[in-house]
């Protein structure tokens, strides 16, 4: 299955600033997914990123707040913009390694906004 390198692993940021999270995959994948896990909660999909097209956002998430880039088949970034304490969460990227392997997740970025 695919191996995902996600960074940073954690960060503490001031409100009003932005943070960009990177995910690098060791193989080419068509779709990359970005999830948010709020404290003590389950995972919620933010958006799906395909190479060469605009990301598709889930209800409640907008591009101005969470812009995504997907410049090639092995890399994607998620930016959390104009942060507030409510954005404090773990952010995870995921790919479908293959039909047999299922979905692989990055190790996550633990974001704290102060």
Residues near other proteins (CB under 8 A): 1, 6, 30-31, 33, 41-45, 48, 58, 92, 94, 96, 99-100, 102-108, 110
How many CB atoms neighbour CB 49 within 10 A? 24
User: Which CB atom, from 27 or from 30, has the smaller least distance to other proteins?
Assistant: 30
Residue whose token pair is 């990359």: 32
The minimum distance between CB 99 and other proteins, in angstroms, equals: 5
How many CB atoms neighbour CB 6 within 10 A? 20
The minimum distance between CB 39 and other proteins, in angstroms, equals: 12
The minimum distance between CB 62 and other proteins, in angstroms, equals: 17
User: Which CB atom, from 43 or from 73, has the smaller least distance to other proteins?
Assistant: 43
User: Which CB atom, from 17 or from 41, has the smaller least distance to other proteins?
Assistant: 41
For the chain, count helices (H), then strands (E).
0, 11
The minimum distance between CB 53 and other proteins, in angstroms, equals: 14
User: Which CB atom, from 17 or from 56, has the smaller least distance to other proteins?
Assistant: 56
Distance CA 104, CA 101 (A): 8
CA distances from residue 111 to 29, 46, 52, 114 in whole angstroms, order as listed: 26, 15, 28, 10
């Amino acid at each position: 299955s695919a191996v995902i390198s996600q960074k940073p692993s954690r960060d503490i940021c001031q409100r009003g600033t932005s943070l960009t999270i990177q995910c690098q995959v060791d193989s080419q994948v068509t779709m990359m997914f970005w999830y948010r896990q709020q404290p003590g909660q389950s995972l919620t999909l933010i958006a799906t990123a395909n190479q060469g097209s605009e990301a598709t956002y889930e209800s409640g998430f907008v591009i101005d707040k969470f812009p995504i880039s997907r410049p090639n088949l092995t890399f994607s970034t998620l930016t959390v913009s104009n942060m507030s304490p409510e954005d404090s969460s773990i952010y995870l990227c995921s790919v479908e390694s293959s039909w047999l392997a299922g979905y692989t997740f990055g190790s996550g970025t633990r974001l704290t906004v102060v």
